[in-house]
Structures are given as structure tokens and as C-alpha cells.
Structure 1
Amino acid sequence: MCTRVQPETMEQELIVGGAGEGSEAVGERGSNHSGDGEEQRLSSPWALYKRSMSERPLLTKSVTSALVSALGELMGSALRSSPPPPLPAGAGTALAVKGRAGAGQGTGTAAPGLLRRTAAFAIFGLLVNGPVFHWWYGALEGAAARRRKAGEPPGGAGDITFKVAVDRFLMTPPYLAITLASLRLLQGLGAKRSIGETSALYRGVLFTNWKIWTAAQLLNFKLVPIEYRPVFGNLVAFWWNIYLSLLPAHK
């Protein structure tokens, strides 16, 4: 998958400044300083992000998904283009020749290829991944609330187990196939090659996804406060997109 985003109802942070009793002695200058500090806090990146999430959640999640996906691909491209490690002392001639011949093969870091791949990741994040998971996690929370027994608290063991199981085993398998195929189609590889590469990669990538994202979602649902879940999900998604970027091509 690409970028994972969590839905939540995020209240806009209100930072109320002002002096207490006896503040008249502070004077106009102190009041101005307090206002400056309040303005700086309200204009901080985190405050702006929270306000955007509250006022435009779908757009914010979609743009964030596009940025994280593109950055993951750029990092993957940088890793693909890095020189191979030096051969150990005493390595055979055949091994040295093979290593030099293979260096740089399949890196795909030429300018047109890099631009095409980065655009594919960004477009998929903006138009597919962000909107899909905005809807999916809202539906998942609704389903969890409906199955919750009377008196069972939100965020309990049963609640978390239900959400993780449904997300991992109902949503992930089909959506991962869509992700792998779509990224290749957006790169202009054609339907036949895109389907072929997706079929060749799918099983291994699915098991890797289950290993990484199952643990991440358990932590996210259990330990991370709801207002920080999108940030945590984007951190994991950044590394996941690097992994997707480094997947080999199967011709």
C-alpha cells in the first residue's frame, strides 16, 4: 500500500492568550508580545496541519498521501542509484566483473524515468490512496461501533482486534493488487506488463505488508492518540513507499 491515513474528528486548537489579574501593569508592550507569541503558535506547521485536517480532511489527507508517496519514491530512487558496496579483499575476478557489470542496472534513475515514477506515486496517492482510506477508516470505525457490545469501551481489546483483522484480511489483499497494478499503469508500462509484474510480486509483497502494517496498526489503534494517528501512519507509509519503489521489475 501507499500512504495510510486515519480518519478522525479533529478539533481546531484554540490558544487563548492574555494576562491574569493585575495585568494592567504589564502595559501595551507586554500585551503585544503575548499576541506575537500566540500568533506564532497558531501559525506553526502543526497547528496549520490540525486546522486543515479539521476544515478540509479529505483534501488534506489526499495531498499528504501524494507528498509522502512521492518522497518515498525519490528516496527509493536515491537508494537504487547509490554505488554498490566495495567487494571484500580477495574477491575473485569473475565476481568483480559481475559486480561492475550489474552496477546501475535496473536503477531507473534517469531523469525521464525518475519523473515518471515519482509522478505515478504522487498521482496514485492524491487521487486513489488518500480518498480511499479517508472513506475506509470512516467505514471501519462505523462497523466497529455497530458490533461493539453494550458497555464495551471504544479502544478495548475486542474493538482493536476487530478493526485490525478487518483491515488486514478484508481490505489489504484486493487493495494491494490494485496498488501494484495502478503504479505500473501510471508509469506507462501497459496492461499486460503491469498485470504480469503484479502477479509475480503479489504474494511476497502481501506477506511483507501483513508483517509491517499489522504491527503498525496494532500500535496505532492501541497506543497513539487519535490526533496523532495520521502522523504515525504517514511515518510508516513513507518507509513502505520506499519498499514499493525498490521492488524489482519482472519482465
Structure 2
Amino acid sequence: MLKVWNWYQNCLSVHPVKTQVVSSTILWGVGDLTAQFITHSATKKRLQLSDSDAKFMVNWKRLAVTSMFGFGFVGPVGHFWYEGLDKFIRFKLQLMPKSVRFVATKVAMDSMIFGPFHLFVFFSYMGLCAGKNLPKVKEDLKRNYVPALVLEGGVWSVVQVFNFWYLPVKYQLLYVNLFCLLDSAFLSWLEQQKDASWKKCFQVFHSKNEKGGQC
């Protein structure tokens, strides 16, 4: 395990962007596979099906699409975002590293800029890759975006406080990527929930004429 860690550190130092891209691809793929298994298990339990009646079959297309999101967006964009965010707050805002204002500003900017943008790109990308037209993608965004933003917002803020306060910048990428394993599982699961009744509690942007459930 120590050899693997040393090898990863070396790759991160020599090829930071490539390492981030590869690790993001793998972790988002594993996250989606986890989400598929969780959805399958929940469905099997709800319908009271036996193992022989409901075998777990991997959706390879969905797995590939989600992995490519890690490859094309999370890896490269995430790398430059966290590097740029640190430099901006250090040199432009001239805040002292590890101070309360430094960490609070980082968390606030990450939550208000990168978080919402990341979710918008994810749901738009997944919808388009599924062959949906723009009106359908917009409808899915209405259904999924706000629930994801609310549910993820609180969790990621806590995660990032620890990240920005205690870890050096070069390790923040690895830390975020590890949590992206859980994040990709959550987002993949959420995207597959379709019109689940609990989502209607978050659909504050729907028109008044659209019928929905009550919280």
C-alpha cells in the first residue's frame, strides 16, 4: 500500500493533470457502478424478488458515460479550479492561509460557483448522452437540480472546510477525488430517481399550473 501511495504521489507531482483525469475517471466509474447496484438492490427488495429472478446486470453504457464525465470534466476542470482558487485567494485577496477568513472564503466560493456549475453540467451532460432533446433536459434539470444542490450543499461545505483548513493544495485534489466516489454514486442514483415524490418538495421553480406533491 505504501508503494502505491508513493507511486501516486510521484504521478501527481510529475503529471498532475493527467493523474487527476485518470483518477477521476476511475472513481466516477466505480461510483456509478455502486449506484447501479444500490438501485438494483432497492428495487429487488421493494418488489420482493429472489436473486434468480433479478440478477444484477451492469449498464455498461451508463457506466461509460459517467466515467467520461470524470474524464472530461471533473478531472481537468476540478484540477484547475482548486489550483486557481488557492492562488486567487492567496495573491489577489491576500488572505492568510489557514486563517478563518481564508477557509471561509474558499468554502463560500466553491459552494456558490463550482458546486452549482458542476451539477448543471452533470445533469445536462447525462441527459444529452441519454438521447434526450433540450426541452426534456430542461425538465430533468427542474426535477433534479435543486434537490441535488440542497442535499449536497451542506455535506460538501463540511467536507471542504476540512480540506481547505488541514490539507496542502497538492493533496486537496486527491481528497476531493475520494469524496467524488461517493458523490458520483449519489448523483447517478439521484438522476435515476425520475419523478420520485420526495423531489417535489424541492421543485420551487415549477410553474404554478404544474401539479405536484406536497411536502
* TM-score normalised according to structure 2 size: 0.78
Distance (whole Å) between structure 2 residues aligned to residue 63 and residue 219 of structure 1: 24
What pairs up with 1:47-196 in 2 under 5 angstroms? 47-82=6-41, 99-100=46-47, 110-111=57-58, 114-149=59-94, 153-196=96-139
Q: Which fold has the larger relative contact order, with Cα–Cα distance below 8 Å and residues 6 or more apart in sequence?
A: 1
SS at match of 1:246: helix
Instruction: Select 1:244's aligned residue among 170, 182, 187.
Output: 187
Give the length in aligned residue pairs: 190
Unaligned runs of 5+ in 2: 197-215
Counterpart residue type for residue 142 of structure 2: S
Distance (whole Å) between structure 2 residues aligned to residue 57 and residue 228 of structure 1: 11
Distance (whole Å) between structure 1 residues aligned to residue 93 and residue 117 of structure 2: 26
* TM-score normalised according to structure 1 size: 0.67
Q: Are 1:198 and 2:141 an aligned pair?
A: yes
Distance (whole Å) between structure 2 residues aligned to residue 157 and residue 239 of structure 1: 27
Q: What per-residue deviation string (whole Å, max 9, x for no partner) do you get for residues 97-130 of structure 1?
A: xx53999xxx9x655xx11111111111101111
- Indicate the structure with greater helix content: 2
Unaligned runs of 5+ in 1: 1-39, 87-98
How big is the shift at 1:240?
Answer: 1.1
How big is the shift at 1:250?
Answer: 3.9
Cα RMSD (Å): 2.7
